[in-house]
Structure 1
Amino acid sequence: MNWLSFIALMRDIYGPKLPDLERLQARGLLAVKIGQTFALRIDFLGEDKCRHLAQLYRRTTPIPAEDLETLMNRYCPAGWREHFSSIERRPLAAASVGQVHRAILRDGQEVVVKVIKGDFKERFTADVRRLKQLMRLATWAYPKLQRVADPVGILEHIEEYTLAELDLRNEAGHARVLRELQEQHQHWPMLAPLRFPRIYEELSGEHVLVTEYLHGRTFDELLEQGRLPYEELLKLFLIHGAYMFGLGVFHGDLHPGNIFWQDGRIYFVDTGALSQVSDTFRQGLFAFFEALALEDYVAAACAIHRMSRRALPAARWEAYLRQFMDLYRDFSGKTVSQVSLTRQMMRTIQLAVHSGMEFERGMYPIIKSLMYLDGMVLKCNPDAVLMQDMRPHLATFKRHFEGPAGHLNRGRAQPAVLSS
């Protein structure tokens, strides 16, 4: 991907017509990943365009059946097929990297076989390298772009989690990490609804993964059908919050196609990407969202300032606080359709950077999570006042995060403000 094809991609996404998905996929894996990122930006693109781009999660061009056989013969050791009584040729679903096929083991267990669709790595890494060069040039010409939007950091994150997806051993290993953390904190009630499908690691490898077949539906499918209960979506917020705010390790690609709902349980799948957040951001973000839920906007401004590596002089702090209060003047009681949480968060970070704060790299996984979750709420319950709905759960979060097995350290109550 060069700068011309990148500009063409942006014109397709932002243009008046629905993007041509076949043409987008023909531009390569990086273009697909960018398209998937925009699929949740219902606040920027509108519902019709986001619904259209969301097809990239599960309806990308499947491998013809004969190619599936070729790939399994190439990737799987001798005797591997003997463990199965049948493998369906037609895929259940296809995504940007792999596709899954229903199968039955010799003992009658229903499973799915996930296969990497092809050798994407060489072209993908070349595309990322070229686009990084373009973005570095852009940030050299406009330095604040790096601090506000961090385009290079975004590309590095896309590169990291996509390369991780291309090795299915990561999916098995990361699911094990998340499951073990859940078991270690099984007394946390917010983690109780979470499950992980069984992974048959003895039948899996770098290019093939065999997992338990789930009879439920993805959040993506339920959202499309208007059948996802809002209460279940709130459970997902609590689960993700426990991992991100309480444990500092979380599912790095929690889009609605990677979440199953079955028998009242929430299943995490496609755990190839695992993200981590530093203690500074984890603690600061929890304090920020807690303050938003309680409508204490001075405390919210202080929480953002605590995450900065540079304390503001007194005069700048006062100017920042005035602008922050103005930014949140009409935030209270607003539904997610009236005020996008993702857009508000982006504006908050932009204000902080323009005021002179500096933040560590690595914010994109957090912003990406907000994009996914914010987009799901917009589709599920656009009249929800999300911050108010999260308010009753704050005490539970704090009790477990600050307890003997918790990890939350609130730090100083007010930011250190330098004298001018």
Structure 2
Amino acid sequence: MALFGIRRLLTILLIIIRFRLDQLIDVTRLPSWLCILLRFGPWRLVPAPQHNRGARLRLALEALGPVFIKFGQQLSTRRDLLPDDVADELAKLQDQVPPFSNEQARTLIESALGKPVEELFGHFETQPLASASVAQVHAATLNNGQQVVVKVIRPDIQRTIEKDIRLLYSIARLVQHYLPDGRRLRPVEVVEDYELTILDELDLQREGANTSQLRRNFADSDLLYVPEVYWDYTRRNVLVMERIEGIPVTDVAALNAQNTDMKRLAERGVEIFFTQVFRDSFFHADMHPGNIFVSRKHPERPQYIAIDCAIIGSLSDSDQYYLARNLLAIFQRNYREVAELHIECGWVPPHTRVREFESAIRSVCEPVFEKPLAEISFGQLLVYLFSTARRFEMEVQPSLVLLQKTLLNIEGLGRQLYPELNLWDTAKPFLEHWLRDRYSPQSMFKRVSHRLPGWLEQLPNLPEQLLEGPRRPIEMPVPNTDIEHLERQLQQEKRSYRWRVLGIVLIGASLMQAELAHWSPHTLALGALGLLVLALK
């Protein structure tokens, strides 16, 4: 293993020299010994390729193989860390890898499912439909005639990935320590994100579960179709699912040939994204063009088809709420509210100076809003906002990075299909409706009802708790002058506690009454009174 590591490291160094990546480093800010080594090393005799810096980095990652290609793809999503020219080049990385042999594929399938391929399938295509860094896909037919695809994880890929990830961590630490912008680029954090993503992709049962959930979320929807997973044929390293027929979303000529409503198709892509993020808090986070197709049915009401649900994003309730309010405030140019929301939701530290943060946000957003609204990049605006917030110690969460990446993909795809797409026209009504609905009485009662079983479980203990109130043991002696203050504080807490219990009881009673006798004005009034008591306790 150590020998493999040394050989792999030498390979990496040779490729760095071949593409003269050393020229991308500002040597003036490096330690003197490293500066001398880079200035006078023998690799300076190697001529530099006639490409820009982003292309040279992309070509180097392609030469290093599938694990590094996948890493470059992941890195391209971190536009909050990279210059645009580098991120654009890395986004071009194609995950095309030579397939492994048919014999290996059959052996893996038979080992996982415990039967010969001939028994499992009525027909099995030996030539793969597609081959990528982690898995390859074969077409097949079940014994009942159902057309399916069989996804198989590459043999020994986990061992290769683990070794390359260890090397990536070593390189990341060197970059963080020695490069001028090393700390700002957070290379170790990027490798950690990549490790989580690629290890998740190795578990096809997880991908199958994501696919089933997304399919359930859009059951009977004319917006999005998700293929069915066949669980009897699915294991950790083998996934069998329905084979879909559709037009690749980038095949504009074929879409136009069947008279697809391109404006509606682009708008529906935006609607699907916001529905996944805000209605379901479960969004497909790898919606690049290779994973999206368009159904051949109903071109006047085009329906998307999504595959490859290995990477899924999710937001907490609070992140959903603050994101919706942030987006609305940004487009209303209410920068003060944007700054306050970032502090309120904990995205930046509480000691952040609001005026200073507000000014930084204004300086980023105002130039963007000088463009016509239809030309504003929603996703890019988020990138600028997150980059600005980093200066104020914002720790960008992986879920927000996935959201930003997915929005950029959807937006770019939508404008490719329909260049005049105005993302805001679709997004604004959706966000406003979502915020109104979130605080409607029905929605509030629904959220409270989820907690009701836990509250009812505590009801038998309420009489004792109401009489005794909260207890606060005082273990240290206190000065006599503070005793009266502590007694007043304890009495106040007891009163507050009892009001809280009363509010919960009122809400519980309204929900039980609604369950028994359906909704009525009295039921709503009782629940509203309970909410008011909780708010004013």
TM-score (norm 2): 0.62
Distance 1:10 1:218 in 2: 37
Asked if 1:44 is matched to 2:74, the reply is no
State the Cα deviation string for residues 208-249 of structure 1 (Å, max 9, x = none). Answer: 211111111343x43697868343233233223233234433
Q: State the secondary structure of the residue aligned to 2:251.
A: helix
Asked if the contact 2:58/2:72 (under 8 Å) is kept, the reply is no
Q: CA deviation at 1:327?
A: 1.3
The answer for the alignment partner of 2:231 in structure 1 is 201
Q: CA deviation at 1:381?
A: 4.1
Amino acid at match of 1:241: F
Tell me the distance in 2 between the aligned counterparts of 1:230 and 1:202: 40
Counterpart position of 1:418: none
Structure 1 residues 279, 326: closer, same or farther in 2, change over 3 A?
same
Q: CA deviation at 1:197?
A: 0.6
The answer to whether the aligner puts 1:156 opposite 2:192 as a matched pair is yes
CA contact (8 A) 2:215 2:227 kept: no
Q: Distance in 2 between matches of 1:165 and 1:277?
A: 20
Q: Is the 8 A contact 1:80 1:203 kept in 2?
A: no
Say which of 214, 227, 237 aligns to 1:178: 214
Instruction: Return the TM-score normalized by structure 1.
Output: 0.77
| Corresponding letter in the other structure for 2:306 | F
Q: Is the 8 A contact 1:336 1:377 kept in 2?
A: no
| 1:310 aligns to 2:340 (yes or no) | no
Question: Does the 8 Å contact 2:339/2:354 carry over to 1?
Answer: no
Q: Distance between the aligned counterparts of 2:105 and 2:168, measured in 1? A: 31
Alignment of 1:211-226 (within 5 A): 211-219=241-249, 221-222=250-251
8 Å contact from structure 1 (residues 248, 276) kept in 2: yes
Q: Which residue number corresponds to residue 413 of structure 1?
A: none
How many residues align structurally? 395
Q: Give the secondary structure class of the aligned counterpart of 1:61.
A: coil
1:233-382 residue pairs with structure 2 within 5 A? 233-262=266-295, 263=297, 264-307=302-345, 308-313=347-352, 316-332=353-369, 334=371, 340-357=377-394, 363-377=400-414, 379-382=416-419
Question: Which AA in structure 2 matches 1:387?
Answer: W
- Give the structure, 1 or 2, with the largest relative contact order (CA under 8 Å, sep 6 or more): 1
Would you say the 8 A contact 1:342–1:370 is kept in 2?
yes
Structure 1: gaps (5+ residues)? 410-420
1:64 CA drift (Å): 4.0
Q: Specify which structure has the higher proportion of helix.
A: 2
Q: Distance in 2 between matches of 1:355 and 1:309?
A: 7
What's the secondary structure of 2:366's corresponding residue? coil
C-alpha deviation, 1:122, in angstroms: 1.5
Give the 3-state SS of the residue equivalent to 1:104 in structure 2. strand
* Aligned counterparts of 1:395 and 1:154: Cα–Cα separation in 2: 34
Cα pair 1:336 1:378 within 8 Å, conserved:
no
Equivalent residue number for residue 35 of structure 1: 72
Whether 1:88 aligns to 2:118 is no
Change (3 A) 1:10 1:174: farther
Letter in 1 for 2:350: A
Cα separation, partners in 2 of 1:408 and 1:355, compared to 1, 3 Å: farther
Contact 1:29 1:124 in 2 (8 A): no
CA contact (8 A) 1:115 1:208 kept: yes
Question: RMSD over aligned Cα, in angstroms?
Answer: 4.0
State how far apart, in whole Å, the 2-side matches of 1:122 and 1:28 are.
15
Between the aligned partners of 1:127 and 1:29, the Cα distance in structure 2 is 10
User: Which residue does 1:108 correspond to in 2?
Assistant: 145
CA distance in 2: counterparts of 1:26 and 1:144, whole angstroms: 25
In the superposition, relative to structure 1, how do residues 274 and 294 fare at CA in structure 2: closer, same or farther (>3 Å)?
same
Letter in 1 for 2:190: I
Q: Relative to structure 1, is the Cα distance of residues 358 and 64 closer, same or farther in structure 2, using a 3 angstrom cutoff?
A: closer
How many angstroms does 1:136 deviate by? 4.2
Name the structure 2 match of 1:395.
Answer: 432
Which amino acid is the alignment partner of residue 44 of structure 1?
A: D
The 3 A distance-change label for structure 1 pair 364 and 19 is: same
Q: Tell whether the 8 Å contact from 2:266 to 2:421 is kept in structure 1 after alignment.
A: no
